[in-house]
């Protein structure tokens, strides 16, 4: 039988109840979030469940939302069930003060470098990662460049402020 977004949502709510939340569909792709403590449980369930079978980690990345207090950093997983050909997006949020998220390297070998990249740019500490060090930036760097507090433009310029980009 073919797998649909509704069935995935139903299976997840059966298993995790209130803990998985914020279900929505964006351009046909199901997305939801869960507390960071159970990210591995959710990934394992999606991987092992005979009906779901999300065995392919397409992408793993981070996002920074400085205005959301207590949940500033997001880790976004894109998973793919190749047999049923359906994708989903799974997010966990973490505070910027203690950005600890369990690593998915035990489940997906591909997560190794993707988590290193996310650590490199956002400073998300993947607990249990075998080799969590910077990958694209120099080792001596002492900040996390993709966080929003590091502006791209020269700070002395006044002609290119946020207003120029629709965020006044």
Partner 1 sequence: MSEHIKLPEGSIEKTTTTLNLGPTHPATHGVMQNILELDGERIVSADQTIGYIHRAFEKLAERRPLAQITTLTDRLNYCSSPLNNMGWHMTCEKLLGITTPKRVDYLRVIVMELARIADHLICNSIMGVDAGAYTGFLYVMQYRELIYEIYEEICGARLTTNMGRIGGFERNFNDIAFQKLEKFLDEYPKALKEFENMFQRNRIFMDRTMGVGGISAERALNYGFTGPNLRAAGVDYDVRVHAPYSSYQDFEFIIPVGSTGDSYDRWLVREQEMWQSLSIIRQAYQKVQAFTGAEAEVYHADVPEYYLPAKQDVYTKMEALIYHFKIIMGETDIPAGEVYHAVEGGNGELGFYLISDGGRAPYRLHFRRPCFIYYQAFEELVKGAMLSDAIITMSSLNLIAGEMDA
Whole-angstrom Cα distance, residue 27 to residue 167? Answer: 24
CB 78, CB 87: distance < 8 Å: yes
For residues 36-95, which are near partner 1 according to CB under 8 A? 55-59, 61, 63-64, 76, 78, 82, 85, 87, 89
Instruction: Considering only the stretches 12-20, 33-41, 94-102, 158-166, report the one whose residues sit in contact with partner 1 under the rule CB under 8 A.
Output: 158-166
Task: Quote the CA–CA distance of 97 and 138 in Å, as a whole number.
Answer: 23
> Read out DSSP for 143-167?
S-TTSTTS-SS-TT-SSS-GGGGT-
The residue (of 15 and 106) whose beta carbon lies closer to partner 1 is 106
Q: Is 109 in the site for partner 1 (CB under 8 A)?
A: yes
Residue 127 sits in the site that holds partner 1 (CB under 8 A): no
> CB 140 → partner 1: shortest distance, Å?
13
Q: DSSP string covering 111-129, please?
A: HHHHHHHHHHHH--EEET-
Residues that bind partner 1 (CB under 8 A): 26-27, 29, 31, 55-59, 61, 63-64, 76, 78, 82, 85, 87, 89, 108-110, 112-114, 117, 121, 135-138, 145-146, 150, 152-153, 160, 164-167
């Amino acid at each position: 039988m073919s797998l649909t977004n509704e069935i995935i949502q139903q299976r997840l709510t059966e298993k995790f109840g209130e803990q998985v939340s914020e279900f929505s569909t964006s351009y046909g792709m199901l997305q939801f979030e869960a507390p960071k403590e159970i990210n591995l449980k959710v990934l394992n369930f999606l991987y092992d469940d005979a009906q779901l079978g999300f065995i392919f980690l397409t992408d793993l990345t981070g996002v920074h939302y400085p205005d959301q207090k207590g949940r500033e950093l997001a880790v976004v997983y894109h998973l793919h069930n190749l047999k049923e050909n359906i994708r989903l997006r799974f997010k966990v949020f973490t505070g910027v003060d203690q950005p600890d998220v369990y690593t998915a390297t035990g489940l997906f070998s591909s997560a190794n470098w993707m988590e290193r990249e996310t650590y490199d740019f956002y400073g998300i500490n993947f607990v249990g990662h075998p080799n969590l060090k910077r990958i694209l930036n120099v080792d001596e760097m002492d900040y996390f460049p993709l966080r929003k507090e590091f502006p791209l433009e020269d700070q002395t310029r006044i002609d290119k402020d946020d207003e120029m980009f629709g965020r006044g």
